[in-house]
Amino acid sequence: MSAEPRTRIRAIVVDDEALSRAAVKEYAAGHPDVEIVAECANGFEAVRAVNDMKPDLVFLDVRMPKLDGFEVLELIGPDAHVIFVTAYDTYALRAFDVHAVDYLLKPFGPERFAEALHEARARIARAERTPVAPLVAGARPAGAYLERILIRSGSKVDVIPVANVDYVQARDDYIGLMVQGRERLKQQPLGDLEGRLDPGRFVRIHRSFILNLDRLARLDLATRHRHVAVLNDGTELPVSRVGYARLKELL
């Protein structure tokens, strides 16, 4: 018989189905090194719990209302280790396999739970980080674009519909989202966001700017070789030669 692990694993269970949460807690009770410190019925509760409890491990359902599992993952970042819990989902399972992230396919039993937990222990011991960005991208169905952008500040989450974004500006390690005259900062590369937005609605007009085409009033020639995009509110944004070519294709 193997010795009991010395390090306790503090875990959170996130699932909108009470029976699923109960199953995880029941199976976890058979492992003395695992302590369930919180259970959450939706993604907003999960973000607050991770922020407050700083767990080692999160059992995270993929399909939930309000925030789905991948949105929760994006918000909590790579520090908490995750075992995804899901019903059959082609894109999610493919992403898990590609990025070697463990998951529990509903319905699962205690043996499969123990296997996933064993792998989680090893990852925690190796201090591995969850590959958040490629995992989220890989789990997105082809042709599916962002309809909302999530910004976390501590345990608070703001949900911004992409239709409300006027433009996005690169700001070092952050992006600045201009929404109804107010800039909202989020730690994310501009190129990462660009790849998740509908290219028919949002255009990279400059290395530092993505423009919502619905806000474009006109293109002006600032100098002989330089254009500016003039927005409906009078804001002027620089347009590179490549950005100008992109705009001409769409206008």
* Average pLDDT, integer, range 53-80: 92
For residue 146, give every residue at least 6 positions away whose Cβ sits within 8 Å of its Cβ, in sequence order, or none. Answer: 162, 193, 196, 197, 198
CATH superfamily of 148-250: LytTr DNA-binding domain (2.40.50.1020)
Let me know the angle formed at the C-alpha of 197 by 194 and 202, rounded to the nearest 5 degrees: 85
pLDDT at 67 over 80: yes
Residue intervals in the chain for CATH 2.40.50.1020: 148-250
pLDDT score, position 202: 97
Task: Using pLDDT thresholds of 50, 70 and 90, give the confidence band for residue 1.
Answer: very low
- Predicted pLDDT at 120: 93
DSSP structure class, residue 172: T
The answer, yes or no, to whether residue 144 has pLDDT greater than 60, is yes
Whether pLDDT at 224 is above 80: no
User: In Å, what is the CA distance from 223 to each residue of 170, 176, 220, 228, 242?
Assistant: 24, 27, 9, 9, 16
* Statement: residue 77 has pLDDT above 80: yes
The pLDDT value recorded for residue 3 is 46
Tell me, what's the pLDDT at 4? 46
Percentage of the chain modeled with pLDDT above 70: 98
Confidence of residue 155 (pLDDT cuts 50, 70, 90): confident
Q: CB-based contacts of 199: which residues, under 8 Å, 6+ apart?
A: none
When the candidates are 3.40.50.720, 3.30.160.100, 3.40.50.2300, 1.10.240.10, the CATH number that belongs to 9-138 is 3.40.50.2300
Could you tell me the sign of the dihedral formed by the alpha carbons of 52, 56, 59, 63, in that order?
A: positive
Q: Is the pLDDT of residue 2 over 50?
A: no
For all residues of the chain together, what is the average pLDDT? 92
Least confident of 105-109, 144-148, 152-156: 152-156
Q: Under DSSP, is residue 58 helix (H, G, I), strand (E, B) or coil?
A: strand
Q: What is the pTM of this model?
A: 0.84
Q: Give the pLDDT band of residue 112 (cuts 50, 70, 90).
A: very high
68-87 average pLDDT score: 91
111-139: average pLDDT: 91
Q: In the chain, which residues fall in CATH 3.40.50.2300?
A: 9-138
Residue written as token pair 């239709």: 163
Query: Which contiguous run of DSSP H or E holds residue 40?
Result: strand 34-40
